[in-house]
Structure 1
Amino acid sequence: MLRHPVWGAICLLAVLLVLCTDKLCTDARPSAYALLVDDDDEDDGDGSGSSSFSFSSPHETPDELAFGFYDGTCPSAEAIVASTVRELFAADANVAAALVRLFFHDCFVHGCDASVLLDRIGGGKSERDAAPNRSLRGFGAVDKIKARLEKQCPGTVSCADILALAARDSLVLVGGPTYPVLTGRRDSAGSFYDDVNIPAPNATYAMTLSAFARRGFTERETVALLGAHSIGKVQCRFFRDRIYNFAGTGEPDDSLDADMVGEMRAVCSGDGAAPMEMGYYRQGREVGFGAHYYAKLLAGRGILRSDQQLTAGSTVRWVRAYAAGHRGEEAFREDFAHAMVKLSALAPLKGSAGQVRVSCSKSVE
């Protein structure tokens, strides 16, 4: 049964508000970020400092994506995704960060089409073989969600929509903001190994901004999206050079706080009994979504060089804004939710394009 028309109207209004542009919302109240900056810090003309988001991507409002896309074909689809994510999270809280990271890496290559989930096809390499993706986890979680959906509604719900919904539901479970997710994406029939270009752990802020700009994201949106690192854990191999032999100097990275170097070395020189990984913990080893990530960067406690580099250039103004106490936290959550809606709308396959896989790791023959 379809949802009541009033509910559909409410949902449409919600996404229109989220996708609000400068032109459409000149009379709206300023964002939380706008209340934090001085006039001297405002936009210099390139759009990166705007207090309202500009959603200029040609894929921002695809006609075939909609709220409740599966209402008539699989009414319980979104509930099944949400309940399975909750079950997986209860068994292993690390699954939340894994699913969010999978979604990011998928959307960054040819859009949100679940191409990152595919195994090798005909002996050729898949995206999973590319260096930035070899440490990805969460594939088994996606398979479990898909199996339950196939049992309820065979051949109906795409893997691309599963990733989009599971990422949102995962973020909510770790304390992140909720945001509207349109559905109706279709799955890619191929994988794109040669096109995987994800910012490296040691990327400079210029490299990171360039990678995000190529996908239509502003400086502000980029810094907000990187706040997702607040929920993840980083393996030592991705930052070992920063604490022992940075850039061949034989010394640690001088942008790191001295105490942080000691903490990182203690983790990475362990006997293997404990996981050799670190996260942007809030208290003790508590992992949770929040602007504490930005406060740690300002204190020289960025685990990855690409994170710490956000304090090395113009991006530092956004780091400072998000680290500014309660108001900064509010601004970050608002901006992150907007940016996730935009990310979710990157180049989806829709209508008759692509396919709906039965198994997320295998294309339909």
Structure 2
Amino acid sequence: MLNLVNKWVLLVLLISFLFSLRTPRKGTQREEIETHPVFSVFLQTQEGNSLGPNPGLEYDHYRDSCPEAEKIVRSIMSRLYAKQKDVPAALLRLFFHDCFIRGCDASLFLDDSHGNMNYSIERRAVPHSTLKGFDKIDLIKAELEKACPGVVSCADTLALATRDGILLQGGPYYPVFTGRRDSSESYFQEATAEIPKPDGNLSETLHLFSLRGFNERETVSLLGSHNIGKISCHFIQDRLYNFTGTGQPDPTIAADFLNELRLHCPANNNSSRVNDSAISSGSDFDTHYFRSLLRGRGLLFVDQQLMADEKTASLVKAYASGDGTVFRMDFARAMVKMSNLGVLSGSQGQVRINCSLPAENS
């Protein structure tokens, strides 16, 4: 049991942390909370230390080997965001797809196929076919290589860039512990089978998240990241025109919302998965995603499925109410947990110079 002093420290922390989550932070320099001692206490005292850093990671890992690393990532992300507002959403999706398969090890980036389209690599698995942002991480990594050759991993580059992108989009701050190393292997079969499907039912989705250690609350908060970015029409095509092979739309979609979606995604929109049209899911990191679910206006079937169960529906209602503080806090904590999944550290893995090539070929 926490003693009286620790209880007071935790109370101060919670007040400070909740206040920081209420106000979106866009493009600021290193936030005061990054060095606030009580934030680490928060991580260590919640859920049996499950949110603390992986034993192989540490805060500000590159302080001696590449002291400007995080500043470089922040600076480039600010420039990219100024030119292209959907970069944060693209990187967040990259980060999720990478971490969900064997952990946050940049295995998703490997591509030594030399143009061979039959070469089975993770990034060519069907669930990854519409991913974007590889070039943005390559750009950031190239600048890091100029400053500190062979020091900062691709996995850490993606983790830091994703967090900074979320901040730029108005999302909450969360600490990124660094020291990840890059995988030398790619996992095509796992990526094909284990990424949650946009048309998956609730039990399938919860099961896949639970295999990674996420409970219902953490799963719902992470799905809240669908509040930014664009969704390719092919992800909702069957829902609009041929739901479960019936030749009819999903009957749970309200008529006015169905008409709206069909305007964006016409029936003949069956072009390639990479180049087809898309519909915006939002530009602000707020609670509009959850409010939309309450109105039956979830874009993806997997999203609207959160209302199919009393427990997940109650979480949607909680996140949709108030000023968004609860959602922002839960999302920040879940992202810390996500970023620690299955990382390689120490002598494990490698540090790639070129994120698409194994170290020996970089």
TM-score of the two chains, using structure 2 as the length reference? 0.83
- Unaligned runs of at least 5 residues, structure 2: 1-31, 270-274
- Unaligned runs of at least 5 residues, structure 1: 1-6, 24-53, 282-286
1:354 aligns with 2:355: no
CA contact (8 A) 2:91 2:158 kept: yes
1:164 aligns with 2:165: no
Distance 1:254 1:347, change over 3 A: same
Q: Give 1:357 deviation, angstroms.
A: 0.4
- What is the rounded CA distance, in whole Å, between the counterparts of 1:203 and 1:335 in structure 2? 23
- What is the rounded CA distance, in whole Å, between the counterparts of 1:339 and 1:262 in structure 2? 35
1:211 aligns with 2:212: no
- What is the rounded CA distance, in whole Å, between the counterparts of 1:112 and 1:252 in structure 2? 37
Q: Which structure shows the higher helix fraction?
A: 2
TM-score of the two chains, using structure 1 as the length reference? 0.82
CA contact (8 A) 1:68 1:183 kept: yes
CA contact (8 A) 2:241 2:267 kept: no
CA contact (8 A) 2:233 2:276 kept: no
1:295 aligns with 2:291: yes
Distance 1:114 1:176, change over 3 A: same
**Equivalences for 1:322-333 in 2 at 5 Å?**
322-326=319-323, 329-333=324-328
- What is the rounded CA distance, in whole Å, between the counterparts of 2:47 and 2:169 in structure 1? 31
Percent identity of the aligned residues? 47
- What is the rounded CA distance, in whole Å, between the counterparts of 1:296 and 1:354 in structure 2? 42
- What is the rounded CA distance, in whole Å, between the counterparts of 1:104 and 1:206 in structure 2? 19
**Letter of the structure 2 residue corresponding to residue 336 of structure 1:** F
Q: Give 1:249 deviation, angstroms.
A: 2.3
- What is the rounded CA distance, in whole Å, between the counterparts of 1:8 and 1:294 in structure 2? 27
- What is the rounded CA distance, in whole Å, between the counterparts of 2:190 and 2:38 in structure 1? 36
- What is the rounded CA distance, in whole Å, between the counterparts of 1:270 and 1:176 in structure 2? 35
Q: Give 1:8 deviation, angstroms.
A: 12
- Correspondence for 2:336: 341
Q: Give 1:11 deviation, angstroms.
A: 5.5
- Correspondence for 1:277: 278
Distance 1:315 1:258, change over 3 A: same
Q: Give 1:325 deviation, angstroms.
A: 3.0
- Correspondence for 1:46: none
After superposition, what is the alpha-carbon deviation per residue over 1:139-160, rounded to whole angstroms, capped at 9, x for unaligned?
0000000000001100000000
CA contact (8 A) 1:257 1:299 kept: no
Distance 1:163 1:9, change over 3 A: closer
1:304 aligns with 2:300: yes
CA contact (8 A) 1:11 1:67 kept: no
- Correspondence for 1:82: 74
Hey, which bits of structure 1, 4+ residues long, moved more than 3 A? 7-13, 120-124
After superposition, what is the alpha-carbon deviation per residue over 1:118-175, rounded to whole angstroms, capped at 9, x for unaligned?
1145974111110101110000000000000001100000000011101100101111
After superposition, what is the alpha-carbon deviation per residue over 1:188-231, rounded to whole angstroms, capped at 9, x for unaligned?
01111111110011000111100100000010000000110000
After superposition, what is the alpha-carbon deviation per residue over 1:46-71, rounded to whole angstroms, capped at 9, x for unaligned?
xxxxxxxx838xxx532231111101
- RMSD (Å) for aligned C-alpha atoms: 2.2
After superposition, what is the alpha-carbon deviation per residue over 1:228-273, rounded to whole angstroms, capped at 9, x for unaligned?
000021111110111112112222112212211010001112999x
